[in-house]
Amino acid sequence: MKLGKQDKLVIKAFVDKRSLEGPKLSSEGNRLDGLWMGGRGIALWRGGKIHLPDLGSRAAQTVQNAIRREAPPNWFADSVDRASSAASLRSAIRRDR
């Protein structure tokens, strides 16, 4: 997946905790979602840190790599948040609704 200029602006908005929507990505400020099937919860702000759940899709990995380039290293909970399982990700998404 190739990220366009609008999608890169959405990533910047997510890092700045702002809401913005692009052709492939959407940010509500505290959560970054991909606008494709299975693209929900690519990155989350929790406890003042950015969490990057391991979603397993190549498109999500591309977006997460772009987030790693955009945000300072000390803003991340881990390089990849492998501790958050699919169940905890679903519960975090439900709480954000």
The residues facing 49 across adjacent strands are 46
Looking at residue 86, its pLDDT comes to 58
**Is the confidence at residue 22, as pLDDT, over 70?**
yes
Give the predicted TM-score (pTM) of the model. 0.78
- The whole-number pLDDT of residue 90 equals 67
Q: What is the pLDDT of residues 44-74, one digit of tens each?
A: 999 999 999 988 899 999 999 999 999 999 9
Residue 81 has pLDDT above 50, yes or no: no
pLDDT in tens, 28-43: 999 999 999 988 999 9
pLDDT for residue 78 is more than 80: no
